[in-house]
Amino acid sequence: MSSCIFHDTGAARRDLRIFEIVESALARRERVLIYADGEERAQDIDRMLWVLKQESFLPHRVVREGDRDTDTPVAIVTGERNPGQADILVADGHCALDFAVRFRVIHEFVTRSSPQMHQACRERYRAYRSRQVALQHVRED
């Protein structure tokens, strides 16, 4: 059964939180899939994972459709595929719930940039609950 953590954090801390999730998972030797909402965001996440902490090396790469070498511990994708067979999903954008619930642990982010985006997050929370996904809401200021 999947579990989902909704990280309720400001936009300014979102990248740091993604980094911390990835760093923690790699310390436990777990594979991570980061679902990015578009190519530009995938590149931003890729860059952030390289430069956020100079003393930390997080092996990762953007994996595009048709890439053959997918044996990286952290894959960044813009489509709904899991090339490295990761158990942990970091959903930086809203992927389909049918895709998300395939993962053991799902990390979602509460977006408060507009009332519509905040409402979409609430609806996603309810959708996970209706699928009996174990939920946790973490307020991170």
What is the rounded (10 degree) CA torsion for 10, 90, 98, 2? -100
Across residues 119-126, what is the average pLDDT?
94
Average pLDDT of the chain is 91
What is the mean predicted confidence (pLDDT) over 16-38? Answer: 95
> Is pLDDT of 98 > 90?
yes
Q: What is the CATH number of domain 3-140?
A: 3.40.50.10110
CB-based contacts of 68: which residues, under 8 Å, 6+ apart? Answer: none
DSSP-assigned letters across all residues of 84-100: T--SEEEESS---HHHH
Look up residue 81 and give its amino acid: R
Looking at residue 69, its pLDDT comes to 65
Cα angle, residue 79 at apex, residues 48 and 88 outer, rounded to 5° = 65
pLDDT in tens, 33-47: 999 999 999 999 999
Rounded distance between C-alpha atoms, residue 57 and residue 38, angstroms: 24
Spatial neighbors of 30 by CB under 8 A, at least 6 apart, are 86, 87, 88
What pLDDT does residue 79 have? 93
User: For 54-82, how does the pLDDT look when each residue is reduced to its tens digit (9 = 90+)?
Assistant: 677 788 899 987 776 668 899 999 999 99
pLDDT of residue 26: 94
Mean pLDDT along residues 23-30: 95
